[in-house]
């Protein structure tokens, strides 16, 4: 059976991943593609239980190592229960965060050793790597301001939103570093632009990748 396309979306809080994925999924479905939208942490019932532990603001004594293993446990379940079956049937999987979030947050952000993160991630994913990763790049101060505005309208506020701004700056720099190291997989898009422009750039990047796969 033809393998589908695994596309991940990364970026600081409030970059617009959820909003963009929703618009892109609708566009691709209208074109007749089988599209699966999913997210991390989560994407499965077990993953959603782990998500609740990870993001509860009260769990503020969680150690970085515990956090790493919980994100990785949720990912191991997500890959096997949800992502691989969808790819095996030829779907386009749009995933809101994946293993690069672990490198950016637990690695560049919290300072855990990157070589350990690569080993644990390889084990959790069984070696699954995205075909395309979209980095929605934004100044964390602007992203967090968006999050605060959304929270005032009822959106949830989580434990990691509470982290110091310096962590979010290191996360952004980590992402830019990862993208520069693997330009064949990453596309960096300015997420401070109006949402219509961001969606148009993302669709162009996906269409280019689909054509490349079909060539």
List contacts with ligand Z5A (CB under 6 A). Answer: 11, 13-19, 40-41, 55, 71, 96-97, 101-102, 105-106, 146-147, 150, 158, 160-161, 191, 194-195, 198
Cβ-count burial of 43 within 10 angstroms (0-12 exposed, 13-18 middle, 19+ buried)?
buried
Q: Residue 124: CB partners within 8 Å, gap ≥ 6?
A: 72, 73, 75, 76, 79, 99
> Shortest gap between Cβ of 181 and ligand Z5A (angstroms)?
18
C-alpha angle 188/127/135, rounded to 5°?
10
**Shortest Cβ distance from residue 214 to ligand Z5A (Å)?**
29
- CB nearer ligand Z5A, residue 34 or residue 190: 190
Chain centroid offset of residue 72 CA? 13
* Cβ at position 144, least distance to ligand Z5A in Å: 9
Q: Which residue number has the CB closest to ligand Z5A?
A: 16
Shorter beta-carbon distance to ligand Z5A: residue 146 or 172:
146
Decide whether 39 or 210 has the Cβ nearer to ligand Z5A.
Answer: 39
Q: Provide the minimum distance between the beta carbon of 141 and ligand Z5A in the complex, in angstroms, as a whole number.
A: 13
Which distant-in-sequence residues (6+ apart) come within 8 Å of 42 by Cβ?
48, 50, 51, 74, 78
CB of 3 to ligand Z5A, least distance (A): 23
**Nearest approach, Cβ of residue 37 and ligand Z5A (Å):** 12
Return d(Cα 178, Cα 185) in angstroms, integer: 10
- Where residue 11 falls (left for φ over 0; alpha for ψ -120 to 50; beta otherwise) is left
Q: Coil, helix or strand for 22?
A: helix
Q: Please classify residue 2 by burial: count the beta carbons closer than 10 Å to its beta carbon, then call 0-12 exposed, 13-18 middle and 19+ buried.
A: exposed
- In the bound state with ligand Z5A, the residue whose beta carbon lies nearer, of 13 and 131, is 13
Nearer to ligand Z5A, 105 or 186 (CB): 105
The nearer residue to ligand Z5A, 99 or 210, going by C-beta atoms, is: 99
DSSP structure class, residue 91 = P
């Amino acid at each position: 059976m033809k393998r589908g396309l695994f596309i991940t979306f990364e970026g600081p809080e409030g970059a617009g991943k959820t909003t963009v994925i929703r618009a892109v999924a609708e566009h691709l479905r209208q074109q007749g593609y089988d599209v699966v939208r999913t997210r991390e942490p989560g994407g499965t019932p077990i993953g959603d239980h782990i998500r609740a532990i990870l993001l509860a603001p009260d769990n503020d004594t969680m150690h970085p190592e515990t956090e790493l293993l919980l994100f990785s446990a949720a990912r191991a379940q997500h890959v096997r229960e949800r992502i691989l079956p969808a790819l095996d049937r030829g779907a386009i999987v749009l995933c809101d965060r994946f293993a690069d979030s672990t490198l950016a947050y637990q690695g560049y952000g919290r300072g855990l050793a990157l070589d350990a993160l690569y080993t644990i991630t390889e084990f959790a994913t069984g070696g699954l790597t995205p075909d395309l990763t979209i980095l929605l790049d934004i100044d964390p101060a602007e992203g967090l301001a968006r999050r605060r505005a959304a929270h005032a309208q009822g959106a949830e506020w989580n434990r990691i939103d509470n982290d110091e701004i310096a962590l979010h700056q290191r996360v952004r720099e980590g992402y830019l570093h990862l993208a520069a190291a693997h330009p064949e997989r990453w596309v960096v898009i300015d997420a401070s632009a109006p949402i219509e422009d961001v969606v148009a750039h993302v669709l162009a990047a996906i269409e280019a990748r689909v054509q490349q796969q079909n060539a």
